[in-house]
Amino acid sequence: MSKRLIDHLIDYVKLDIAPFHTPGHKRTSGTYDYLEKISYRCDLTEIEGFDNLHGANGILKDAMIRASEIYQSERTFFSVNGSSAGILAGIRAATKRGDDIIVARNCHKSVYNAIELCGLSPHFIMPQRYNPFKIYGAISPDDVKNSIKQYPKAALIVITSPTYEGIISDIRAICDEAHINNIPVIIDEAHGAHLGFLDKSIENAISCGADIVVHSAHKTLSSLTQTALVHANGNLIDVDELEWQLSVFQTTSPSYLLMASLDGCIDYIKYNKENAFEKWLSNLEKFEQMTKNLKHLRILKYASDTAGTHPAIYKFDKSKIIISTNGTSLNGATLASNLLNKYRIEHEMSLGSCVTMMTGMGTTACHLERLAEALIEIDASCKSAVNNSPSLIFSDMPYCAIPIEEARLASTEPVRLEQAEGRIIARYMWAYPPGAPFLIPGEIINGDLIKFISESSVNGTALKHNGKAFDGNIVVVKHK
């Protein structure tokens, strides 16, 4: 009970576990001098000569200009409150109360929070499905087109790309369709701050014309956890309003340590493209070579192999290693715990039959070799089996009975999962990670969902409901 957090952290680091999770700097020593220099000794504030993040016009303004130059955006803002603050600010800047917005149903919960905060009417688009891995795929531009036809006055479109599993949508086509109708597009590219750098054949959402793009710089690049970049382009977004809303959702005491890590990361990318991206890519290619003969475990292949050949995958982000246990006696959770306990390799997410390993700018050849060798060994001892891991993908959305806000404000009661069929859920439910709600307030709980939730619980998937670990009770709207 009384061990300090700092001692937990220090003790963990001593274990020398290979990190295939965020942050992207991977705690790799000796590479990032600006990270080495970060300490409480330079934990300063807005004193003489320093700048104010909110309305910057000095050294922070300069730093944000440097970031926009690297990304070729018109404006770039720092966030010290993660991509979450960027999403909240972007959506609030682009909408007014009561507006219709078109939203991919697999968005992060911060998008749902923004919908509630801003009093918006969401119209959801279901992502396509990539059944071989039982994961969601890309958002189809045709689905966006149809949604715009249905809601031509939509104030905004919000899409997540890449997904947590690295699947990229055709953002250019989506933006073109939106812009014909004068609708701005926010791309939650939290997982893709490296797009356009790591693999030249994949553009980022800025190049594709998105109006606001949000990057979790810490996820795959080399800034500290909790830092993000928010880019703005074009004239469909009021950039002053975006800047204002960013100040609403971020502390008035932003950490210079976090901001210096963001700026250091941008500077590193500018002057060390080879170290930052070329080595990372060639290490990934070596990993692919090493693991290409796996017999049981399957790895969602890089880029061109899958991309384009399946309608649910427009492109694939090479930085993600997605391992499927389908057809084996393992599931995602057992594979992940095997990797950790036997091989000291930590994953990012296990969900259903899949495990997501995240690489980042700091991932070393040594980390990847360790992972490849572990997978080869596990694969060799694997057995074929029918695997019924529950999956988080659904072909249909649950039926929405009442708006989110109405459900959130209604009188509620807890019911046991088994008794919840037909009831209106009053709080979100999601697995974390990825943190995209599969049930949102106002939706009706059906039999399929009950089956999925109960199977997930026994399969080690960490479900969250009502802001807490799911305990078998579901908060539903009280019968009148």
Residue (385 or 409) nearer to a copy of itself, CB: 409
Q: What's the Cα-to-Cα distance from 86 to each of 81, 90, 230, 242, rounded to whole Å? A: 8, 6, 6, 9
Residue (39 or 309) nearer to a copy of itself, CB: 39
Q: How far is the CB of 439 from a copy of itself (least distance, A)?
A: 16
Residue (43 or 418) nearer to a copy of itself, CB: 43
Chain-centre distance for alpha carbon 224: 16
Q: How far is the CB of 229 from a copy of itself (least distance, A)?
A: 13
Q: What's the Cα-to-Cα distance from 47 to each of 22, 63, 248, 264, rounded to whole Å? A: 32, 17, 21, 20
Q: What is the DSSP letter of 386?
A: -
Residue (108 or 134) nearer to a copy of itself, CB: 108
Using the Cα atoms of residue 423, residue 107, residue 305 and residue 294 in order, give the sign of their dihedral: negative
Q: How far is the CB of 299 from a copy of itself (least distance, A)?
A: 22
Residue (175 or 426) nearer to a copy of itself, CB: 426
Q: How far is the CB of 381 from a copy of itself (least distance, A)?
A: 22
Q: How far is the CB of 268 from a copy of itself (least distance, A)?
A: 10
Residue (9 or 380) nearer to a copy of itself, CB: 9
Q: What is the DSSP letter of 127?
A: P
Residue with tokens 């249905």: 150
Residue (21 or 367) nearer to a copy of itself, CB: 21
Q: How far is the CB of 124 from a copy of itself (least distance, A)?
A: 20
Q: How far is the CB of 409 from a copy of itself (least distance, A)?
A: 7
Is residue 215 classed as helix, strand or coil in its secondary structure? strand
Q: How far is the CB of 90 from a copy of itself (least distance, A)?
A: 14
d(CA 229, CA 90): 12
Q: How far is the CB of 132 from a copy of itself (least distance, A)?
A: 28
Q: What's the Cα-to-Cα distance from 202 to each of 107, 170, 318, rounded to whole Å? A: 21, 10, 10
Which residues, in sequence order, are bridge partners of residue 477?
412
Torsion of CA 418, 424, 426, 428, to 10 degrees: 70
Residue (245 or 326) nearer to a copy of itself, CB: 245
**Rg (alpha carbons) of the chain, rounded to whole number:** 22
User: Closest Cα partner for 345 from 10, 15, 2?
Assistant: 15
Which residues, in sequence order, are bridge partners of residue 168?
315
Q: How far is the CB of 197 from a copy of itself (least distance, A)?
A: 19
Residue (72 or 388) nearer to a copy of itself, CB: 72
Q: Do residues 127 and 168 touch, judged by C-beta distance below 8 A? A: no
Write the Ramachandran bin of 2: left for phi over 0, alpha for psi from -120 to 50, otherwise beta.
alpha
| Residue 16 CB partners (closer than 8 Å, separation 6+) | 344
- Written as six digits, the tokens of 258 are 């976090």
d(CA 34, CA 224): 11
Backbone torsions φ then ψ of 195, nearest 5 degrees: -65, 140
Residue (2 or 395) nearer to a copy of itself, CB: 2
Q: How far is the CB of 47 from a copy of itself (least distance, A)?
A: 5
Residue (209 or 442) nearer to a copy of itself, CB: 442
Residue (228 or 417) nearer to a copy of itself, CB: 228
Is residue 287 classed as helix, strand or coil in its secondary structure? helix
Write the Ramachandran bin of 276: left for phi over 0, alpha for psi from -120 to 50, otherwise beta.
alpha
- Written as six digits, the tokens of 385 are 């089996």
Residue type (1 letter), 20 = F
- Written as six digits, the tokens of 151 are 């809601």
d(CA 157, CA 210): 10
Q: How far is the CB of 249 from a copy of itself (least distance, A)?
A: 7
